[in-house]
Homo-oligomer: A and B are copies of this chain.
Amino acid sequence: MPGALLFSSKLDDPVAWSAALKVAMPELEIRVSPELGPPADIETALVWKAPPGELAALPNLKLITNLGAGVDPILADPTIPSHIPVARLGDEVMAQMMAQFVTMCVLRHYRDLVRYKRQQRNRRWHYELPIASYDCRVGVMGIGLLGGAAARMLSGIGFPVAGWGRSPRSIDGVETYHGREGLAPFLARTDILVCLLPLTRETRHIVGRDVLYGLPRGAKLVNCGRGGTVDEAALLAALRDGQIAEATIDVFEEEPLPPESPFWGMEQVLVLPHIASIAVPEIAARDVVANIRRLRAGQPLLNIVDRARGY
């Protein structure tokens, strides 16, 4: 039957997604990888890191939707025909989940939980006077849907927040910087740096030695964007040197993080398995279906990735 949707993800739950898609579009035929049925039936694909070649083998594929905000795995797969539009998920619930997660990470660093966990292991009761949050400056690199939501939430609960992006952007209550020339002043005023950049040719390893040492000594880092945006060797050196006092890392250049990675064993590093935010099926399925309807009606598609820009 033509018009089928292929669901292909090792991480996401096909049962929950099928149910949510059926609510939004009861007549939608859904195939779950690797049970594709006749390849010619597949009109749209909803994927997270589909096996190489799987999408290339679908002759009538007209739209690929990425199960998340970061589309770098799709753009990096040479087997995927570049004429097929790629949409990415990104709704208010996903943005709120990311903003909450980043807020948790920033609060942990601001309130020195690393030190207090060490004290607990040593059964040591020792109190340090906390500083007020107006003296803890947060900087968010990448202020699109997710980074913008994180910046707004952090500002809303009382932190002085600045944001940095490739192009000018204005966010209420947030001081914004942009471009290469805006990077140094942005870093110089940042005590906790949050990285929520997409992974593109321009951002690969952008958080390297220069950026890390452009922060005040003892700054802290949160990366919930893409592993490839951080030069992990440079971060490791900066952590060992004390230039970066603590880090929370949810994304890595290689995932799963290999067992031999030194990050696992560093007390001042919280290693997380890429959990910050997801597309919640019952919410995100509405956007997936809205784009299927637009495709069939010949209307402009929503949330389409600019391949040249990379996000």
A contact residues vs B (CB 8 Å cutoff): 11-13, 93, 96-97, 99-101, 103-104, 107-108, 110-111, 113, 116-117, 119-120, 123, 125-130, 132-134, 153, 156-158, 255-257, 259, 264-265, 270-275, 277-278, 280, 283
Residues in B with CB closer than 8 Å to A110 are 100
Query: Closest 3 A-B residue pairs measured CB to CB?
Result: A125-B256, A104-B107, A123-B259
Residues in B with CB closer than 8 Å to A119 are 273
- With a 10 A CB-CB cut-off, give which of A128, A256, A274 has the most chain B CB atoms: A256
* Residues B116 and A107 in contact, CB atoms below 8 Å apart: no
A146 CB to closest chain B CB (Å) equals: 14
* Residues B117 and A275 in contact, CB atoms below 8 Å apart: no
Q: Which of B93, B156, B264 is A123 in contact with, Cβ under 8 Å?
A: B264
* Residues B133 and A97 in contact, CB atoms below 8 Å apart: yes
The docked-state distance in angstroms from the alpha carbon of A223 to that of B61 is 54
Residues in B with CB closer than 8 Å to A127 are 11, 273-275
Chosen A-B contacts, 25 in total, with CB atoms closer than 8 Å, are: A13-B129, A93-B134, A96-B157, A96-B158, A97-B133, A100-B111, A100-B133, A103-B103, A104-B108, A107-B107, A111-B275, A116-B275, A117-B270, A120-B270, A120-B271, A123-B264, A123-B265, A125-B256, A125-B257, A126-B273, A129-B278, A132-B283, A153-B157, A156-B156, A156-B157
For A127, the closest partner residue in chain B by CB is B273
* Residues B130 and A278 in contact, CB atoms below 8 Å apart: yes
A100 CB to closest chain B CB (Å) equals: 6
* Residues B116 and A273 in contact, CB atoms below 8 Å apart: yes
Number of copies: 2
Residues in B with CB closer than 8 Å to A101 are 107, 111
The docked-state distance in angstroms from the alpha carbon of A101 to that of B280 is 27
A150 CB to closest chain B CB (Å) equals: 11
* Residues B153 and A116 in contact, CB atoms below 8 Å apart: no
Residues in B with CB closer than 8 Å to A157 are 96, 99-100, 103, 153, 156-157
Residues in B with CB closer than 8 Å to A116 are 270, 272-273, 275
For A266, the closest partner residue in chain B by CB is B120
The docked-state distance in angstroms from the alpha carbon of A113 to that of B127 is 23
Residues in B with CB closer than 8 Å to A117 are 270
The docked-state distance in angstroms from the alpha carbon of A277 to that of B107 is 13
Residues in B with CB closer than 8 Å to A99 are 157
The docked-state distance in angstroms from the alpha carbon of A120 to that of B97 is 22
A19 CB to closest chain B CB (Å) equals: 14
A119 CB to closest chain B CB (Å) equals: 7
Residues in B with CB closer than 8 Å to A274 are 127
The docked-state distance in angstroms from the alpha carbon of A116 to that of B157 is 25
Residues in B with CB closer than 8 Å to A130 are 97, 275, 277-278
* Residues B97 and A103 in contact, CB atoms below 8 Å apart: no
Residues in B with CB closer than 8 Å to A132 are 93, 97, 280, 283
